[in-house]
Structure 1
Amino acid sequence: METIIPIKGKVNYSITLDASVWIFDDRKIELEEFLKFDDSLEKNENDYIKAQAERWERERTGIKPPVNKSIKRFEKERVLNGSFVIPLAPFLSNADPIETGLNVKLVSENGDEYILTMEEAMNGFLGFSKDGKPLREDGPVHFYYGDGSNAQDPYKHISSITII
């Protein structure tokens, strides 16, 4: 199964996403946390900005904070056993959709197509991990609406994203 997902169509930059490396991305959210639907996107963006600011400050000053080994172990276990989603918005923004690109088409490996508004796509999330494993059976990614309306039945087998 291929984990590469292209973003193409009415964009200034056609880009490819590799879902297999998102487990290392700080923007990922645990699926259970996402399913709470309490402004997850805003909270995640704020947490991400805060973490980046702290990382920048540490690099700038050269201060290395002490590392608690039990925290490292907990994080490792969480990554190895967790189910995760990642916001789609940063990837769509990086592709830089042109003004006439008003909708997003998600194409599945079995030929199904799902048409979303740009707003729905920007608020959406891509599921890429279940119980610490890539989505091999019905992946490479699943699409979840930001409001959780399809949480029990996400769009599965998503293999390409096209701005139309």
Structure 2
Amino acid sequence: METIIPIKGKVTYPITLDASVWIFDDRKIELDEFLKFNNTSEENENDYIKAQSERFEQERTGIKPPINQSIKRFEKEKILKGSYVIPLEPFISNSEPLVEGNQVQLETNNGEHVVLSIEEALNGFLGFALNGKPLKDDGPVHFYYGDGSNASSPYKNISAITII
């Protein structure tokens, strides 16, 4: 199955996303943690920034717990078994939507289209892994609203994102 998702349409820079490499991206969020958040991606981003700053400070000061190897092994195992989402905002922002592009169309493998406002898309998240595996049956990605309102039934089989 193809894991490539183009962002196209009314954009300055059409870009291509590869969902198979997001497992290595620091912007990913565990699906369970995402579902605990109650508001917008801004709050989620603040939590992410806080975690990253703590990690940076630990690296900068050289403070390493004596069980560091165990933590690395645990994190590796956790990554290989976890379910993850990633914010859509950085990808849309990098494509630089044109002023007249005020809606986002999610295109599915079976030819269906879901139209969202640009704000909904910017606050949204793409699910790309379930139980450590890529979404092969109903992927390559799922779309979740930033508030998690469609957590039980995300938009599935998304194969392209078009700014309209």
- TM-score by length of structure 1 reads 0.89
Which residue number in structure 2 is paired with residue 109 of structure 1?
109
CA drift of 1:37 comes to 2.8
> Per-residue deviation at 1:69?
1.1
Mapped to 1, the partners of 2:6 and 2:53 lie a distance apart of: 26
- 1:1-164 equivalences under 5 Å are 1-39=1-39, 41-50=41-50, 51=52, 55=56, 64-66=62-64, 68-164=68-164
Give, as a single letter, the amino acid of the residue that structure 2 aligns with 1:140: P
**Structure 2 length-normalised TM:** 0.89
User: Which whole-Å CA distance do the structure 2 matches of 1:54 and 1:131 have between them?
Assistant: 25
The change in CA–CA distance for 1:57 and 1:30 in structure 2 (over 3 A counts) is: closer
Structure 2 unpaired stretches of 5+: none
CA distance in structure 2 between the partners assigned to 1:37 and 1:152 by the alignment: 15
Runs (4 or more) in structure 1 with deviation over 4 Å come to 52-58
Change (3 A) 1:151 1:96: same
1:102–1:117 contact (8 Å) kept in structure 2: yes
Question: Relative to structure 1, is the Cα distance of residues 162 and 53 closer, same or farther in structure 2, using a 3 angstrom cutoff?
Answer: farther
CA contact (8 A) 1:34 1:40 kept: no
The answer to whether the 8 Å contact 1:26/1:48 transfers is no
How many percent identity over aligned positions? Answer: 65
In 2, Cα distance between equivalents of 1:56 and 1:19: 29
Distance in structure 1 (CA, Å) of the matches to 2:89 and 2:3: 19
Deviation at 1:70, TM superposition (A): 1.6
| Cα offset, 1:39, TM superposition | 3.5
Q: 2: distance between equivalents of 1:102 and 1:57?
A: 41
Q: Contact conserved, 2:37 with 2:44, CA < 8 A, in 1?
A: no
- Aligned CA RMSD, in angstroms, stands at 2.0
* Aligned-residue offset at 1:86: 0.4
CA distance in 2 between partners of 1:154 and 1:24 (Å): 23
Task: Provide the secondary structure at the position in 2 that maps to 1:17.
Answer: strand
Structure 1 unpaired stretches of 5+: none
